[in-house]
Structure 1
């Protein structure tokens, strides 16, 4: 298929406006907002209604076992090996065939994300920075999303940490809702990432009042009295 045909198909799939909006963000300008959040490592996770899962086991990520990412995260194999070689704490979850279906990372020192955002994430004493959490699509909506975090918190607590901090891009609504489910609290600050012409990136930090998560919370259902039920 020639270039014109590929462009025509892409426009048909995404729509004219969305297609050119994605081109603008990729080659001209984009602005990401990374919302900072934190929580302690001892408060229990609130109850949830996520689907159960089975048949996976947790394995520490090392520079020598990252081939397990090839099936579901083939473009991350080298990145996973680099992060492990740098001494960050990484967990991956393997299915019965030995394929990684989920992973997550933690850093007890300032973390430079040279693989995606390109900026530094500072870490204070007693904190660790949680990053890179991802799951294969068949596990979306399962309690694995909770268990991978709790297991990492326990591992980092054993290293002397008492607080987990991380960031979440404000356009990623499912991830924002996951932070609510996990009991995170907003720090009231945002790291802004700007991209220009697909080549240069600029960064700044801002503060805000109020809550950016509150509009995403599910409204609580009013209690129904016994008299009303009767």
Structure 2
């Protein structure tokens, strides 16, 4: 499909304003706010209503078995092998055909995200940085999003960690709701990523007070008063 046909199709589906906004962000200027979150590794997670999923096989990612990403994450095979060679801890979940359908990573040291944001994420002693958690669409809304985190937390606790930290894009509402559901807390820090003309990136950390996520939290039901007898 030619560029003009793609542009026309996007305008038809999303509208002119949304299309112009996407062009501006991609080719001129964009700003992403990455909210720092944290959680201890022992507090139980809150109750949830996620649906179950067909059992999968968990394997630690290595440079040798990264080929399992070929079917559903074909463009990530090399990246997965690189991360494994760098010594980060990665878990992948394989279906009955041996294809990876989900993955997640943890790093005990300062993490340089050269594959996506391009910046450094510092990690303190006792912490680990969680990144790259993803699953194919068939598993959205299942307890896999909980299980792959819990399993990574256990693996990192066995390596001496007592806290998980990560960042989440402020406009990624589903991911923010997942963090709230998992019991994460805001650190009051934001990593700002600025991109100019699709070429240059600038980074700046800012701080805030209070919560940026209160609007996403489900209200606590008011207690029902007992009727007089």
TM-score of the superposition, structure 2-length normalised?
0.96
Q: What residue in structure 1 maps to residue 41 of structure 2?
A: 41
Q: Which residue of 1 aligns with 2:143?
A: 143
Cα distance in structure 2, aligned partners of 1:59 and 1:225: 51
**Residue of structure 2 equivalent to 1:77:** 77
Kindly state the Cα deviation for residue 2 of structure 1 after the two structures are TM-superposed: 4.2
Q: How does 1:167-182 map to 2 (within 5 A)?
A: 167-182=167-182
Query: Secondary structure at 2:227's aligned position in 1?
Result: helix
Report what 2:96 is aligned to.
Answer: 96
**SS class of match (2:58):** strand
Give, in angstroms, the shift of residue 220 of structure 1: 1.4
Q: Which deviations, in whole Å up to 9, do the C-alpha atoms of 1:193-214 show, x marking residues without a partner?
A: 0000000000000110100121
Q: Distance in 1 between matches of 2:201 and 2:91?
A: 30
The corresponding residue for 1:222 is 222
Task: Return the offset for 1:17.
Answer: 1.1
Q: Which moved more, 1:7-16 or 1:25-34?
A: 7-16
Aligned-partner SS, 1:179: helix
Residue 14 of structure 1 deviates from its aligned partner by 2.2
What is the correspondence of 1:166-205 to structure 2 with a 5 Å cutoff?
A: 166-205=166-205
RMSD across aligned positions (CA):
1.4
Runs of 5+ in structure 1 lacking a partner?
none
Alpha-carbon shift at residue 225 of structure 1 (Å): 4.5
Q: State the match for 2:65 in structure 1.
A: 65
Match of 1:125 in 2: 125
User: How many residues are aligned here?
Assistant: 229
TM-score (norm 1): 0.96
Unaligned runs of 5+ in 2: none
In the aligned structure 2, how far is the partner of 1:199 from the partner of 1:39?
A: 34
- In the superposition, relative to structure 1, how do residues 2 and 150 fare at CA in structure 2: closer, same or farther (>3 Å)? closer
Q: Distance in 2 between matches of 1:174 and 1:21?
A: 22
Identify the range of structure 1 (91-100 vs 14-23) with the bigger mean alpha-carbon deviation.
Answer: 14-23
Q: 1:159 to 1:16 in 2, by over 3 A?
A: same
